[in-house]
Amino acid sequence: MKLGELRPPAGSKRNRKRVGRGTGSTLGKTCGKGQNGQKVRRGASIRTGFEGGQTPLHRRLPKQRGVSGGAMPIGMFRREYAVLNVGRLEAFETGTKVTPALLREQRLMDRRHVGLRILGDGELTKPLTVVAHHFSAAAREKIESAGGAVEVI
C-alpha cells in the first residue's frame, strides 16, 4: 500500500447539498423545504414548544403553588416511610425488640426510608416490643392484644 492509494472508508464522504441551482437539479425553487410557511423563511427559528400561536402546553396547565403534597410530590423535602404490616412481624422471635435498625439488618426496610409506619394487616400472636415512627390504630391494638408494647420514636 502506498500513500497515494489511501482512500476513506466507503460511504464516509458525501458531497455537500447544493441547493437553489435551478429546477433541473431537484433542489431548485424551494430548495427541499416544501411550500411556503414559517419554517421556510430565512432566519425564522422557532423555539421549542412553540405551537403556532396557540397557547402552549406549559401555559395551559394549572400552576402548582406552595410546598405541599400536590405541589411537590417528589422533592428534596419529602420523607419516605417504610410501610410494614403487623403480619410481617410474626417472623421475629418472642420478646424481640423490633427497631428500624433491626429491620434494615433483616432487609425489610431500605436505606432511603427515613421512618417506619406499622399498619394493621395480618395477625400477630407473639409479644413483641415494636419501635416505629407511626402506628395505625389497628396495628397498635393488635400488638398490644398479643401482649407486646408500642414505642413511638
Q: What domains lie within the chain, and their CATH numbers?
A: 20-72 (no CATH), 81-152 (3.100.10.10)
C-alpha cell at 113: 426510608
pLDDT score for 50: 87
pLDDT score for 72: 53
Q: Are 98 and 92 in contact (CB under 8 A)?
A: yes
Strand partners, 118: 84, 135
> What does each of the 153 residues of the chain score in pLDDT, given as a tens digit?
899 999 999 999 999 999 999 989 889 988 888 888 887 777 777 888 888 889 999 899 888 766 555 555 566 677 788 999 999 999 899 989 999 999 999 888 888 888 899 999 999 999 999 999 999 999 999 999 999 999 998
pLDDT score for 137: 94
pLDDT score for 45: 78
pLDDT score for 70: 56
pLDDT score for 73: 53
